[in-house]
A = this chain, B = another copy of it.
Amino acid sequence: MSKTAELAGKLAALNFADMYNNDFYWTWDKTDDEISAVFQVADALRDLRERGKSTRIFDSGLGISIFRDNSTRTRFSFASACNLLGLEVQDLDEKKSQIAHGETVRETANMVSFMADVIGIRDDMFIGEGHKYQKTFMDAVTKGNADGILEQKPTLVNLQCDVDHPTQCMADMDSIIHHFGGVENLRGKKVAMTWAYSPSYGKPLSVPQGVIGLFTRFGMDVVLAHPEGYDVMSDVEEVAKKNAAASGGSFRKVNSMEEAFEDADIVYPKSWAPYVAMEQRTKLYQAGDQAGIDALEQELLANNAKFKNWSCTEEMMARTKGGKALYMHCLPADITGLSCKEGEVDNSVFDRYIDDLYKEASFKPYIIAAMIFLAKVKDPVAALRELDAQAGPRVRF
């Protein structure tokens, strides 16, 4: 039996009916079965691709991408996922558009979605804004479809908002599952999601939030570590607590990187900005107070600089389980001595894990494709089986 056939079998045992025609905002909106379904489909699509089989399920169709912040990895992952399934990407570049001050999101949403199958949105810059934009957008196209304007309701794939970064964290998780040889081996593993120093300012919170909101579902012991004041959204901490209780794992917060790294199986050291400071920035931004924004930046940079010892050095890594924890990062990292003078991670550590890091990233296109597949295909189990049995080669000769 092929790997895809096996995965289709696993998928058949799950309840994921609600994913059809639905959106993907946050992992904690989804049931355990639904999360598992994404992994099964992602792995099956990867297996089919690696065997040279076509997984083109769309004869034509559009994936609209809206990147309100720069992106390389996610941009190319979205493009790859769309292409894998037969969709063409059309990017909404707000600079080249007529999106004037005052055009409503509702209007833009309908105007770019005439024939959209999928909408991928990155909007992670401002706390309280990113998710709101995505929700307003999707409410508009849902209404547009109901009112006969759009011939279908396109599906949202959240490519990062202010709250969660589900395609990243799901790719991270799929990578962990493969690294440890199966989801059943994760129970009791210790994960350190820790803040790390970076010379830059205001990195999004969506990765640490996404990680604690997802990783706590697998019976692991998840530790969130950061200097005092660098708290993440309390709502997401609540999600993590609930998840941990339900999965038989644990979730706790500490203010010491050393403590988090102690005996950890997995470490994820990464810079982010304090939630309260980001809230403050959003208000300054809304008030158009550029002087205030600049002052806040200086204050935050100065504060960051107090915590330069929060860095994933060789000494820090030595504290982990056998000194060999899996080092993770969403990339790009601030690498001490390579991309900056003092950063999140020692170059020697980063370099030792390069293959693991790139593999981690390589799951993202398949995760995105799986999210689209489950939202667009009526009977994904039958579809995978048919692709496995009958799909022609992707390259004809």
Q: Give A residues with C-beta under 8 Å from B.
A: 46, 49-50, 54-62, 64, 67, 70-73, 75-77, 79-80, 83-86, 88-90, 92-93, 96-104, 106-108, 110-112, 114-115, 117, 144, 147-151, 331-332, 334-335, 338-340, 354-355, 358-359, 361-362, 364-365, 376-380, 382-383, 386, 392-397
Contacts and interface: CB of A to CB of B under 8 A. Distances in A.
Given A149-B359, A395-B376, A70 B58 contact: no
A76 B58 contact: no
Given A365-B114, A386-B397, A397-B379, A72 B56 contact: no
Given A332-B107, A386-B397, A397-B377, A72 B112 contact: yes
A150 B98 contact: no
A46 B92 CA distance: 23
B59 A332 contact: no
B54 A70 contact: no
Contacts of A144: 358
Nearest to A55: B60
11 contacts: A58-B394, A72-B97, A75-B97, A76-B92, A79-B90, A110-B361, A110-B362, A115-B365, A147-B355, A147-B358, A377-B397
Given A339-B100, A397-B382, A83 B110 contact: no
A247 to B, nearest CB: 29
Contacts of A71: 96-98
Given A111-B361, A114-B77, A115-B83, A355 B149 contact: yes
B80 A115 contact: yes
A117 B84 CA distance: 12
Given A67-B96, A147-B355, A365-B115, A59 B54 contact: yes
Contacts of A397: 57, 377-380, 382-383, 386
Contacts of A335: 102
Contact of A110 (B75, B358, B383): B358
Contact of A62 (B79, B104, B361): B79
A384 to B, nearest CB: 9
A355 B379 CA distance: 33
B83 A61 contact: yes
Contact of A58 (B96, B365, B395): B395
